[in-house]
A = this chain, B = another copy of it.
Amino acid sequence: MNPLRPSSPNRSPALAETESPGFSITDRDATRQARELEVGQRPGTLNIRKDALKPRLFLMSYNDTVLQEDEYTDRYDELVAYLNAHPELKHWVDVRGYGDLHLMEQIMQEFGLHPLQMEDVLNDYQRAKVEVFDDSRLFMVSRMTDFTALLEIDDDQLSLFTGPNYVLSFQDDYSDCLDPLRMRIRSNFSTLRRQPVLYLAYALTDVVLDHYYPTMAAIGDYIEELEEAIFAEHRPRRLLNRILRIKKDVVRFRRLVYPERDKIAEILRLPEEIVPESLKIFYRDAYDHAIQALDLAESYRDNISSLTDLYMSDQGNRMNEVMKVLTIISTIFIPLSFVVGLYGMNFQRDDGHGHYLPLNMPELYSPWGYPTVILIMGMVVAMQLYYFYRKGWLTNR
């Protein structure tokens, strides 16, 4: 079993097979992103990425008593008609997928969006931000994160525009992390239904922010597994790569959340007429959450930097252990080899001319010669072992 399989629930079981991309620490995503920006284009030009999904349109219309929910994909005109017919309701127009330039331009004009704003929506690599336009409307960008099975933080953009009685949201994927909010709207007793439509914009920001925590929890679980892997007898392959990879993720997460925090701080500074005090109390709460998410990311970064230290030190320890084995074996046997070599010398007691040479290795002719040598060698080994034991080299570390 792969010891590095994160246990978090948002991990697919296919992780083991697909993990190999998880080894790369370079930011392929950023590079791709850099490459896709076209040079020298007129700012505000709308470009649809080739792989963009066909847009699906959803509408949730509600007030404290009524709830109307429908999909208007390919029925954009009906959607507009419905909106115009029901000024008394609050509407959430939920556009998923950008793959229809004509429709996007229609929406842009119908809802009074600036081409540069629409470019930000479709460009899809914006940092979290808030802009006030038409005096009191808000354009907000949030980034929805997910920690994928490939050990990568996947972040999708959620772009919001507020209007007198609607919130218009864009995202490039069909599935998202907003379902808990949809549930709350569907609930008859939800306070959300009684609040003004600006509260819906807040709730969307907040649910995205809340989703940062499971992302971080998944990363935290993975860091823990990495720590265990460092000390495992059989280290997984390219362990340091994995550590540095998750570091990249955490750093990226921080870079996602910082603008989010700044965005909320900016909302808190907006005048009463745009964001009323009764709503700001909720944004203040969201601000605390953003700070906490940053604290968490900071804490993980420290953990990972400690992991790197541990890894390096463990690498040294392993080398040390190898050297100890070599040293113990060599230190014991090299002197012994000398001794046995000594008595393998061929000094002769006879110079070949019949003269007796009594000084040449008389030990070889002693009756106790061999046992004595064996004994002496045994004692040397015993002393060495004792020395190594005292040094602590015989125990594991």
Contact = CB atoms under 8 A, between A and B. Distances in A.
A254 to B, nearest CB: 11
A308 interface: yes
Contact of A288 (B126, B244, B295, B343): B126
B347 A345 contact: no
Given A127-B295, A346-B345, A360-B367, A323 B313 contact: no
B393 A306 contact: no
B347 A343 contact: yes
Nearest to A320: B319
A348 interface: yes
Given A220-B27, A300-B30, A337 B329 contact: no
A347 B318 contact: no
A66 interface: no
A51 B368 CA distance: 74
A52 interface: no
Contact of A40 (B183, B248, B342, B363): B183
Interface stretch (A56-64, A82-90, A163-171, A349-357): A349-357
A105 interface: no
Contact of A334 (B25, B43, B220, B334): B334
A265 interface: no
User: Interface SS of chain A: helix, strand, loop or mixed?
Assistant: helix
B34 A214 contact: yes
A25 B306 contact: yes
B329 A214 contact: no
A38 B127 CA distance: 25
Interface in A304-363: 306-313, 315-320, 322-327, 329-331, 333-338, 340-352, 355, 357, 359-361, 363
The 4 A-B pairs of least Cβ separation, nearest first, read A40-B180, A31-B220, A340-B341, A343-B345
30 contacts: A25-B303, A25-B306, A26-B303, A28-B220, A31-B221, A31-B224, A37-B213, A40-B178, A40-B207, A231-B238, A240-B309, A240-B313, A248-B302, A248-B306, A251-B302, A315-B320, A316-B316, A319-B320, A322-B393, A323-B326, A329-B334, A330-B330, A336-B338, A340-B342, A344-B344, A344-B346, A347-B369, A359-B368, A359-B370, A360-B370
